[in-house]
């Protein structure tokens, strides 16, 4: 597998894992604090999606800088790769959120 595809797949699963893990641990925390775990898991899954996306692509604003500098410089290939990394990470975070909804019976 080439470098681009392996990083894209890794970004997808990292984002999905962050959403799933955060929602599951949030549900455990809800049980410990005597709150409804289903609703807590749904809330956490929705709120953590953007953070999962950011963490999967590197955790900083650097991917956005790569897009900006390469687009303005006329070199589109690195910018398109960064955009695709963001798309893969978004799809992973969204899939994690949808799995939490499905497990909680809301999807």
Model pLDDT, residue 22: 95
pTM: 0.82
Give the chain's domain count: 1
- Give the pLDDT band of residue 106 (cuts 50, 70, 90): confident
- Assign 70 a pLDDT band (cuts: 50, 70, 90): low
The 10s digit of each residue's pLDDT in 56-69 is: 887 656 666 666 67
Task: Find out whether 85 and 63 touch, Cβ atoms under 8 Å.
Answer: yes
Tell me which residue range forms the domain holding 16.
3-104
Do 86 and 66 meet the contact criterion of CB atoms below 8 Å apart?
Answer: no
Cα separation, 39 vs 45, in Å, equals 10
Q: How far is CA 76 from the centre of its chain?
A: 24
Sign of CA dihedral 13, 16, 20, 25: positive
Instruction: Supply the pLDDT for residue 36.
Output: 92
What average pLDDT does the structure give for the chain?
A: 86
């Amino acid at each position: 597998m080439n470098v681009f595809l392996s990083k894209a797949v890794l970004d997808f699963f990292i984002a999905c894992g962050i959403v799933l893990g955060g929602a599951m641990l949030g549900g455990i925390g809800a049980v410990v604090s005597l709150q409804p775990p289903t609703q807590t898991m749904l809330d956490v899954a929705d709120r953590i999606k953007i953070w999962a996306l950011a963490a999967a692509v590197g955790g900083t604003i650097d991917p956005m800088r790569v897009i900006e500098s390469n687009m303005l410089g006329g070199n589109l290939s690195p910018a398109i790769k960064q955009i695709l990394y963001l798309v893969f990470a978004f799809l992973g975070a969204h899939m994690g959120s949808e799995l939490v909804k499905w497990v909680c019976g809301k999807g």
